[in-house]
Structure 1
Amino acid sequence: MTSPGEHNLAVLAEKAFERLGDYESLFFEGKWLTSGEIHERSTRVAAGLRAHGVQPGDRVVVMTMNTPEVFISYRAIWRAGAVVTPVIFLQSGPELRHILTDSGATAAIISPELVPLFSAAAEGLGITTFVVGDSYAALEAGEPAAIEPRADDDLAALLYTGGTTGRAKGVMLSHRGLWESGRGIELVSRSTTATRSLLPLPLSHAYGLIVVIGGLHSERRLVSVLQRWFDPVGWLKLVAEYRLETSPVVPTMLQLLLAQPYSDYDLSSLQYFGSGGATLPLAIRAAAEKAFGVTILEGYGCTESSAVISAETITDHRPGSVGKPLPHAEVAIVDGEICVRGPGVMLGYWNDPELTAQTVRDGWLHTGDVGRLDEDGFLYVVDRLKDLIIRGGFNVFPRDVEDVLLEHPAVQIAACVGKPDAEHGEEVVAVVQLVPGQQVSGPELVEFAKARMAKYKYPREVTVLDAVPLTSVGKINRKAVRDLVKIR
């Protein structure tokens, strides 16, 4: 039986600094920050938040680009006993208003360029707002604050799902859940010798958040170079200049990097990529491993599982799988669906006990993903249950179609969805984005897929787009794709 607060994330951050000491740990846009500077500033920001009325359990929105203040603010919010509520800055006004209202946030930390959007969305809500580079400095003016005690099952973060299948839902994650998932990520990195990483992920997403927490578990001095927002050319330049060894990515980032003149850069320092957020097509994995001379370690999880369930390691990996369940996660396949049990499972959906009861049953989180476990315990993700296309009574998984289309050398990104059809119920259709400089027509891609797939599976329509719609974290936005194919 653990003692209350043993997994407090503020304690984790404090111990990390005590263990590793002061060193240059974070590089951002021409400036190095030391671990000591980040730690000390976070203790002062915690005191500033308390002085401005933030109480334990209060939700504090963090809505910024990727900047060092994200690292500082997360630590400070946990130190003050409050709840990190990350918001990706690519929100519409109504979406942001919903999150602010639903969460009941009392304070917010935002980037200066987001002030107009935030102010309009927060009108009348009484949220105390601190702007990075301006009023944020006032938070750091006082003396350092001590850590506010929190129990293991206290709320540490409230993350809102992307809302591509409906209105965004608040996912409640505990201190222990995030602590355990972060340790799982650190165990993966421990299987490598890499210590210098490039962070292009939005830190306001579950994947980015757990990468940050994973670093707090490390026994090694880790160095991170932070990108304000993912830019493939900038990514290549940073890897070459700072001899970076690893980078957490999502599949679309790899696809965009492969489209660049990457051979013009010295990328010989790279050792491995961690890939998550969406299933990685085998063709893209093989191409990226060959192009960049790396091993790709794929992982799997969802916001409701504190971001991570399984992952490959350097010593234990199998292409096509998403690795083995990490120590904190017990996985079972129930009627084809991936279910998980353990401390990482969310406390529930904020203000929605009915949906919580539907999603977590007898302690098991039903992920909504179709998968299987092989005889050696490796987990494979087939597709999303909600994305399943049923054509004339036959099940078609979009990933199968996308993988085939991605085999065509002209296709950079592919997205497959079901389109309502009077005869078959649903028809299989797809949209693609081409590699710059390449040409192929939609009908040609239909014939390409037809020659490689069962008759009921291949897409009857393929539309070439300038850009396949993506979410703010680089995943295919299937809702937007469905809207596109319905109106064409």
Structure 2
Amino acid sequence: MSAVGDHHLALLAEQAYERHGDYESLFFEGRWLTSREIHDRSARAATGLRSHGVRPGDRVVVLMTNAPEVFISYRAIWRAGAVVTPVIFLQSVPELRHILTDSGAVAAIISPELADLFAAAAEGLSITTFVTGYSVPKGLVSFEDLEAGEPAGIEPRADDDLAALLYTGGTTGRAKGVMLSHRGLWEAGRGLELASRTSAATRSLLPLPLSHAYGLIVTIAGLHSQRRLVSVLQRWFDPAGWLELVAEHRLESSPVVPTMLQMLLAQPPGDHDLSSLQTFGSGGATLPPAIRSAAEKVFGVTVLQGYGCTESSAVISAESLSEHRPGSVGKPLAHAEVEIRDAAGLSLPAGEDGEICVRGPGVMLGYWNDPEQTSRTVRDGWLHTGDIGHLDEDGYLFVVDRLKDLIIRGGFNVFPRDVEDVLLEHPAVQVAACVGRPDAENGEEVVAVVQLQPGQQVSGAALVEFTRERLARYKYPREVTVLDAVPLTSVGKINRKAVRDLLSTRE
């Protein structure tokens, strides 16, 4: 049997509790939970998982809206030596069934409102299912029963054993399982926490889905903190509720994705006192400069960007209050070595754009059941992210765009982000997405869709003219379509595949 590794995530949680002791650490929907309650409940839930046959290395799906039981479940699963397999609740039945069958999950912990979805996806599968709340459907086990036993110790696991299996969004095909180790997540969380130490903020609002890599790494970073952190959790992001919670609890920071910032900017602050707010941490997608500038002006805060992907244990670089530069996503964190490489795999000098490649303990163990895709993505220990960017002379990382989203019009490279940033400078535009459309003359044509600010009106033709005056002739979109809502992924990123599909049906 392997020993409890120094980077075991259950040990990290245990050490955090021993370091800080018992205090009110988490607020959710009208109730405070103490650090002791979370610790004890997770230790008891680990016993429950073992008694229901969950063994070290088994995958346990967590399909929940944000709730304290997500924190408890993650720690319990790691304590039992099993593998956290988080699933964002905005899934279709076929998508969820693929994850259940592909992962070989033996158990699942679900929210009651997702019981019907789960039942349809898991039909015919042998998965022990635990459900939170008071109304437990027939055949399922209540989370209360899961916590009924005596606290369990930590099941030994090695540092490089599998800790989490996260499925990518699948916007370009079937979702792939990304294998992340205890050490990888431990190191990535520590790197993010070290970057955050320049801020004095200890009270934060968590609107991110905890089932996403970004939300997961924020919680792990918190376990590394040398300070007592207080978190207020939203079940799901709600701009009006966000404002109320910040004002009520005098919160100082909040990790968000760019579309959340856009929605907050569209939400009138009213009489809410937001003077306690100091920083936003922005990740999950590239932050348009216009949105960053507006957020800093409206909320009187500093917006700190970070960058990473699921395959890198969620984070590669991040800004801090002592080291931040407009337009950058910060410097690579302590656990990540970054190189910019050309198409031939050669390292490029500062200032030149190429593919962002990263090496270090945070790099995934591989794709679950897919050695061929693993070998294409991780070569000689280097993760090829598929993102285009550059490092400046001082080591700050700048992300330009996704390699697969690059538009080649008449032999010229067009980065969608360049077009989107200009569209977002128009006061009527709230969200913008740019894609390439097949074109007989130019190979690809630059087209875009936008979602307008509430109460605003502008024509697509006027927006074409607006960009034509601000972009090179080969870059500006020849067509801009105004939509009621620009398609987003389940975590708030622009879903460019859905945009392409939508525009193809309008031809």
Shorter-normalised TM range: over 0.9
Alignment partners' CA distance in 2, 1:439 and 1:120: 43
Alignment pair present for 1:62 and 2:62: yes
| Aligned-pair CA distance for 1:248 | 0.1
Alignment partners' CA distance in 1, 2:482 and 2:426: 13
Alignment partners' CA distance in 2, 1:81 and 1:463: 50
The aligned residue for residue 74 of structure 1 is: 74
Alignment pair present for 1:359 and 2:377: yes
The aligned residue for residue 213 of structure 1 is: 220
The aligned residue for residue 190 of structure 1 is: 197
Per-residue CA deviation, residues 359-389 of structure 1 (Å, 9 max, x unaligned), is 0000000000001000000000000000000
The aligned residue for residue 484 of structure 2 is: 466
The aligned residue for residue 128 of structure 1 is: 128
The aligned residue for residue 110 of structure 2 is: 110
| Aligned-pair CA distance for 1:189 | 1.9
2:223 maps to a residue whose letter is L
1:415 maps to a residue whose letter is A
Q: Matched residue pairs, number? A: 486
The aligned residue for residue 275 of structure 1 is: 282
1:376 maps to a residue whose letter is D
The aligned residue for residue 413 of structure 1 is: 431
Alignment partners' CA distance in 1, 2:492 and 2:97: 23
Alignment pair present for 1:439 and 2:422: no
Alignment pair present for 1:373 and 2:422: no
Deviates more, 1:263-272 or 1:286-295: 263-272
Please, what TM-score do these two structures have when normalized by structure 2? 0.95
What are the ranges of 5 or more consecutive residues in structure 2 without an aligned counterpart?
A: 137-141, 343-353
Deviates more, 1:421-430 or 1:349-358: 421-430
1:346 maps to a residue whose letter is M
The aligned residue for residue 450 of structure 1 is: 468
Q: Is the 8 A contact 2:4 2:154 kept in 1?
A: no
Per-residue CA deviation, residues 208-251 of structure 1 (Å, 9 max, x unaligned), is 00000000001111000000000011101110111000000000
2:149 aligned counterpart, secondary structure: coil
The aligned residue for residue 23 of structure 1 is: 23
1:124 aligned counterpart, secondary structure: coil
The aligned residue for residue 397 of structure 1 is: 415
Alignment pair present for 1:51 and 2:58: no
RMSD: 0.7
| Aligned-pair CA distance for 1:4 | 6.1
| Aligned-pair CA distance for 1:190 | 1.0
2:144 aligned counterpart, secondary structure: helix
1:262 aligned counterpart, secondary structure: coil
The aligned residue for residue 347 of structure 2 is: none
2:487 aligned counterpart, secondary structure: coil
The aligned residue for residue 481 of structure 1 is: 499
Per-residue CA deviation, residues 411-448 of structure 1 (Å, 9 max, x unaligned), is 00000001111111111000000110111110000000
1:247 maps to a residue whose letter is S
1:45 maps to a residue whose letter is A
4+ residue segments displaced more than 4 Å: none
The aligned residue for residue 289 of structure 1 is: 296
Q: Report percent identity of matched pairs.
A: 83
Closer, same or farther: CA 291–263 of 1 in aligned 2, 3 Å: farther
2:373 maps to a residue whose letter is L
Please, what TM-score do these two structures have when normalized by structure 1? 0.99
2:378 maps to a residue whose letter is V
The aligned residue for residue 172 of structure 1 is: 179
2:61 aligned counterpart, secondary structure: strand
What are the ranges of 5 or more consecutive residues in structure 1 without an aligned counterpart?
A: none
Matches within 5 A, 1:292-331: 292-331=299-338
Alignment pair present for 1:232 and 2:239: yes
Alignment pair present for 1:340 and 2:358: yes
Q: Which of 151, 160, 166 is equivalent to 1:153?
A: 160
Per-residue CA deviation, residues 100-124 of structure 1 (Å, 9 max, x unaligned), is 0000000000000111110111011
Alignment partners' CA distance in 1, 2:487 and 2:274: 29
Alignment partners' CA distance in 2, 1:464 and 1:264: 32
Deviates more, 1:469-478 or 1:131-140: 131-140
| Aligned-pair CA distance for 1:38 | 0.2
| Aligned-pair CA distance for 1:263 | 4.9
Per-residue CA deviation, residues 298-332 of structure 1 (Å, 9 max, x unaligned), is 00000000000000000000010000000000000
Alignment partners' CA distance in 2, 1:245 and 1:90: 29
2:468 maps to a residue whose letter is K
Closer, same or farther: CA 271–372 of 1 in aligned 2, 3 Å: same
Q: Is the 8 A contact 2:405 2:415 kept in 1?
A: yes
2:11 maps to a residue whose letter is V
Alignment partners' CA distance in 2, 1:38 and 1:485: 48
The aligned residue for residue 349 of structure 2 is: none
1:230 maps to a residue whose letter is F
| Aligned-pair CA distance for 1:188 | 2.0
The aligned residue for residue 144 of structure 2 is: 137
| Aligned-pair CA distance for 1:264 | 3.1
1:264 aligned counterpart, secondary structure: coil
Alignment partners' CA distance in 2, 1:6 and 1:172: 19
Alignment partners' CA distance in 2, 1:53 and 1:225: 34
Alignment pair present for 1:387 and 2:405: yes
Alignment partners' CA distance in 2, 1:282 and 1:87: 31
